[in-house]
Amino acid sequence: MKEAVCYLLLVFLSSFAATVSLVACKQTYIVYMNSAHRTEAHPTHALWYEAHLRSLSIDPARHLLYSYSAAVHGFAAVLHPEQLPLLRRHPAVLNVHPDPLLPLHTTRSPHFLGLSPWPPAPSSRRHSLDPAAAATDVVIGVLDTGVWPESPSFNDAGLPEVPFRWRGACEAGVDFPSSLCNRKLVGARSFGRGYRAAAGGGDADKPREEYASPRDRDGHGTHTASTAAGAPVANASLLGYASGVARGMAPGARVAVYKVCWTNGCYGSDILAGIDKAIEDGVDVLSLSLGGGSAPFSRDPVAVGAFSAVQRGIFVACSAGNSGPSLSSLTNTAPWITTVGAGTLDRDFPATVQLGNGERYAGVSLCSGAGLEDQMVPVVYGKGVQVGSNSSKFCMPGTLDPEQVKGKVVFCDRGINARVEKGQVVKEAGGVGMILANSAVNGEELVADSHLLPTAAVGAKSGDLIRDYVRTSSNPTAMLSFRGTVLGVQPSPVVAAFSSRGPNTVVPQLLKPDLIGPGVNILAAWSGSVGPTGLAKDERRSAFNIMSGTSMSCPHISGVAALLKAAHPDWSPSAIKSALMTTAYTDDNTGSPLIDDAGGSPATPWAYGSGHVDPQKALSPGLVYDIGTGDYLAFLCSLEYSTDHIQAISKSTNKTCSRRLSDPGNLNYPSFSVVFGRRSRRFVKYYRVLTNVGVPGSVYNVKVSGPPGVKVTVKPTKLIFNQVGQKLRYKVTFTSTKVGDPVDMAFGWITWSGEQHQVRSPVSYRWLIS
């Protein structure tokens, strides 16, 4: 990862003189500007930024990468360290920070979510979300690694003409003529100046390493875009696995692709440029399966760009991250963003490991060839070229001894390097199969990969038993068998162990994630440039691939949001989010509470937020918690951010906080996060406003459930809505009746029950200081 580009200047005064060296380090920075300082002499923001740089003796032709206007007021530039003080001291500059590098967070889904089948049955069209007819006027903007436009998932058969209001473009580039766009793929752009600046103009310009165009070499962007809005494709599968009709959540919606992610990740300057152009193009939904860390919103380009998008009525969904099950591992926690965690489907790809002692253990596999079930094969573990090193136990590159591995099954521990790379290492060392065992952190979560050799992935408990057998047996052997695709798996959904968790460290009074969607073993379209593993030596090609991550769950929510946008074009982004959250479910297909795959115990709202998305119920939520731009500004003011930082995020020219929430938790959010502190914080009081989007004459009564150490009082206990659009306010007082401990946590629910609807809000409790 290159944070800066350094140039070394050597000056030789004479053959006898000392060598003088000067190191000048340049780095990309994002600069936020106060538009109140722009005068009529500069008719556009771009001209103003250029003039500003010239006034500081900085040549925009050499230094300026991007000029932003829709997402933020500001620009990205490659700057020397000595130029930074000049910028920061200028009154027109609100904030300056380095360009961050963010990682990507890397079909059965529509059926599992209860969406209409394709083609929909005539009897289902009146009372359910009909993806055949819905969302043809909705454009989903996907910020990712680009697109493989030839994929059948982007065919435009049966779609009407592109909406007249659409202002996007299909930018030509390397191996990407503009003619590749159509009525499905309505836009494709590429943003790589931040990436090339960080790479020093070297490898970033090599087409073999990366396409200098919207074309997707990685596959990640093609997968996420088709998950959100891919067209129906019959007989889709990965090497025979998960076969059936593959389609996106909103197959009638249009897709606009903004390539902002490259070989080594996604730079903030490129992400902002993508959001900036997506807003100008006129997208309705933004889907970003990327993010990193828990930075303050003023230093988070995704949060800043998303704020402007939501201001324009654009729904923004982002992945929560793949750093679970660790607590406080979330990313993309701004309240105007819908933060999406991951759960499983009711589909699996079972495999069996049978040991020489007769024991059998269940696992998963996407093995594309014959298994190892004809005869027992010797198994080895930790047979490395360096005696005593643990690296061979993880099957890291160059660590296995071919003389001890050839013709054997290798037992590998999960961790450190990529799962698929372990399979390549085993194959190159002469191994004929692999047993991949989870660590305690991964628990019993089983993620299937299309390895280069027969492989069975097993959970931590099975892995411990197999490992003991291999270590203690004088002649350990095993057979691997594979059972293809199995449907109707119970229990499901289960919260994925990798899905990032709360509590929220940026704003503790805000409960995140918001909800979960399918994100484990998801089949979707794939790039023609790489094999299913993404490894350079994988010469297999497939039009579809199976992947796991919150990267996969995010576009599920983006697609469902597009359906809601089509059904309710007058709803705000926060109303759509509220509908998704308050109708989410928390019981699996056995009727039991959702399980956490990390340890097998019941999951909590820190893992699943409000629950698992239910598209059909979200269509008619009854009531919604709506939030406007003024509410978000009052929220930012309550965080004690500086005026400059608030202006940078919001593009506001107002220098004062005319309205400030008494507590960040008083934002009109569909969930609650209660933080008890010192004696004065033994009780917390929050207010909420509900808007009726159901029918006139609706009556709702409140029901509260929670831990024994907290008393919850809601006033009033009944809400009577005489008309649609009416807003009613209620107050909740949370009182801690116990002496808390910083490690204490608890959860509950506040539910408004009407004749037809249940409007549910999760509540999390923490005791920071007793």
Distance, CA of 633 to CA of 326 (rounded, Å): 31
Distance, CA of 95 to CA of 346 (rounded, Å): 47
Distance, CA of 196 to CA of 76 (rounded, Å): 13
Across the beta sheet with 672-676, what order do the strands follow?
672-676, 758-767, 745-753, 698-705, 718-721
Distance, CA of 728 to CA of 430 (rounded, Å): 69
The active-site residue out of 144, 346, 596, 631 is 144
Distance, CA of 120 to CA of 716 (rounded, Å): 43
Active site residue 144: yes
Phi, psi of 61 (to 5 degrees): -65, -30
Strands (E), 483-521: 486-487, 494-495, 515-518
Q: Position of tokens 């598209």?
A: 615
The active-site residue out of 551, 572, 574, 673 is 551
Question: Which run of H or of E encompasses 63?
Answer: helix 60-63
CA 201 to chain centre: 29
Beta bridge partner(s), residue 688 = 730
C-alpha to C-alpha distances, 731 to 544, 665, 712, nearest whole angstrom? 50, 12, 10
Distance, CA of 171 to CA of 148 (rounded, Å): 14
Distance, CA of 173 to CA of 81 (rounded, Å): 34
Q: Name the 3-class secondary structure at 52.
A: helix
CB-count exposure of residue 208 (10 Å: 0-12, 13-18, 19+):
exposed
As a three-state string, the secondary structure of 253-291 is CEEEEEECEECCEEEHHHHHHHHHHHHHHCCCEEEECEC
Q: Name the 3-class secondary structure at 643.
A: helix
CB-count exposure of residue 312 (10 Å: 0-12, 13-18, 19+):
middle
Report the interhelical angle of 550-567 vs 573-582 (nearest 10°).
Answer: 110
Active site residue 137: no
Amino acid in position 496: A
Beta bridge partner(s), residue 522 = 547
The active-site residue out of 45, 52, 63, 220 is 220
Active site residue 551: yes
Beta bridge partner(s), residue 286 = 141, 316
Q: Name the 3-class secondary structure at 39.
A: coil
Catalytic positions, written as ranges: 144, 220, 551
